Chains A and B, each alone.
Chain A
């Protein structure tokens, strides 16, 4: 059997085991409601950070408007379940697709920009999405859309997260994924090699946006409401910190970043301003001392541990 597929199977088996253990602990009452909430939050954050990593890490386009797409997913899915009374599964799909369509429409013109300009444009678009929602009375305006049933369960969040992780992992190893990596390394060179850079940038952006929509749908159906204040620039900044902390361009890095930062903010939930100070100092120190993040663009793997003493596992990446 192809070694990559074999690895996938082992990984999925491991995930199933992890799922069984966590779900068992939740049923057994060993994980209380506070940590159950945080575990679900970790899964949602992993979806967000992995999808942002696809845009920022793999394709090298610096987007900081992820919260806007999350808001679109949260609101459209809530409209499906609350206003139209349709099933939750449909809501998840519609939330994902809606965020994806918006991502496509926004990505098409803005991805012509690069670097700093793209960052500011995505930030602005994220804010515009939020302000528009704020002004739509149909979805509750400034007071938010309330009365959303809690339909998100641990099983939903966990398996959707696994799906997103594997989807993006396989995307990265596919032909379009390699085009995205080429664009990150050098856009002009990629263009010269005949890669349609706009197409792949928009593709990555659309995929990233639609998964952010999924995360938003899961989010609003766990916390009973969709509120414009949940989707400010602050949320985009949170996601960005997770990705950067783990290392732009590393899937396992993005996952680790999401887990670490969600734990930190759970512990600091009583001191919200300290949380932001720690986040910001983390970012500054990280950029000064280790700009590639904890993992760089290297994936955490068994080879890395086997090589142990070898410097940051570069040798493992070469395989």
Chain B
């Protein structure tokens, strides 16, 4: 019994650190969905790009962790804006399915473009921290997990500040509430959308760098699964709702850690999709969402 409880808390620690990465990616999904109602399939690949930017920043430019993560976030923000301008902006009034297909196309383009550019072989992310192991009683947490948690909390706090307290954040909330009314009020919608993509992509890139630090290995297809799972996290919390994405990410991470700890790690991915199906069937608006009925 004691070992079971011990294992439970250990998996909880692992789950929370994994979950905070999902939460970072899910935030981008949820913000972009909130503004232009697009499931940005390419978001997981922005996270992959972020990991590579971080990798090159540390190995080629010799930067330490904090400058590297900032540089990576800036590059990813730029990529996010470019993608939005080229692929999504001309489709503003196109049917939803057409935009979804475009997003799938962009996602595959980024994945296979990176395979061509940097080879499909996984790369070893340099150790930017001396791995220290902290013992809390019988429980173990390493320095990477703590860095992930702390960085994630800081980034989420910054995001919450930007969205709730600044003028730009107010514009974002206005556009997601009613784009046409926002335009009538003199808000430059295109700029707000670009900014949303920049913010979301930067957060995903931070997630990518943190994963690189955590698992020490990155490859061009690494964004596929986490991208989908972060979407699950966003739906779980209620898509379009920022605190929902954070909660959803953490819950998903914990569930996954529990499944791989107590059942089998091969069923981890199935667990995430199982959650998705259940939430879509029973509470499609998500944990924090309100039900909206479609009217004719």
List A residues at the B interface (Cβ < 8 Å).
62, 64, 109-110, 112-113, 115-117, 119-121, 123-125, 127-128, 131-132, 134-135, 188, 233, 237, 240, 244, 248, 273-274, 276-277, 279-284, 287-288, 291
Contacts and interface: CB of A to CB of B under 8 A. Distances in A.
Given A131-B269, A277-B116, A284-B87, 9 more contacts: A62-B97, A125-B277, A128-B270, A131-B270, A233-B224, A274-B116, A276-B112, A280-B108, A284-B106
Nearest to B112: A276
Contact of B273 (A64, A125, A237, A280): A125
Contacts of A282: 105
Contact of A120 (B39, B90, B115, B270): B39
B108 A124 contact: no
Contacts of B126: none
A116 B111 contact: no
5 contacts: A120-B228, A120-B235, A121-B280, A128-B273, A244-B101
A282 B106 CA distance: 10
Given A109-B281, A124-B273, A240 B101 contact: yes
A284 B274 CA distance: 30
B111 A127 contact: no
B67 interface: no
Given A62-B97, A62-B100, A116-B39, A280 B277 contact: no
Contact of B274 (A120, A128, A134, A248): A128
B178 interface: no
Given A113-B280, A283-B105, A123 B228 contact: yes
B280 A237 contact: no
Dominant SS at the A interface?
helix
A274 to B, nearest CB: 8
Dominant SS at the B interface?
helix
Contacts of A291: 94-95, 98
Interface in B125-148: none
A113 B101 CA distance: 18
B259 to A, nearest CB: 11
A116 B100 contact: yes
A214 B292 CA distance: 40
A128 B276 CA distance: 11
Nearest to B119: A273
Given A117-B280, A120-B231, A135-B264, A273 B112 contact: yes
B112 A116 contact: no
Closest 3 CB pairs of A and B: A124-B273, A283-B105, A280-B108
Contacts of B106: 280, 284
A274 B115 CA distance: 10
Interface size class of chain B, counting residues whose CB lies under 8 Å from the partner chain = 35 or more
A113 B273 contact: no
Residue with the highest number of chain A CB atoms closer than 10 Å, among B115, B224, B231, B273: B273
A172 B91 CA distance: 30
B91 A127 contact: no
B266 interface: yes
Given A120-B235, A288-B91, A280 B112 contact: yes
A115 B96 contact: yes
B294 interface: yes
Given A124-B273, A131-B270, A288-B87, A283 B101 contact: yes
Interface string B271-292: 0111011001100100000000
A57 B296 CA distance: 23
B262 to A, nearest CB: 15
B109 interface: yes
Contacts of A240: 101, 104
Contacts of B224: 233
A91 to B, nearest CB: 27
A110 B267 contact: no
A257 B100 CA distance: 19
A288 B276 contact: no
A273 B274 CA distance: 31
Interface in B9-52: 39
Given A113-B280, A283-B101, A284-B106, A188 B294 contact: yes
A137 to B, nearest CB: 12
B77 interface: no
B260 interface: no
A68 B108 CA distance: 19
B267 A135 contact: yes
Nearest to B264: A135
Residue with the highest number of chain B CB atoms closer than 10 Å, among A121, A128, A279: A128
Contact of B109 (A112, A119, A281): A281
A280 B106 CA distance: 7
A62 to B, nearest CB: 6
B277 A124 contact: yes
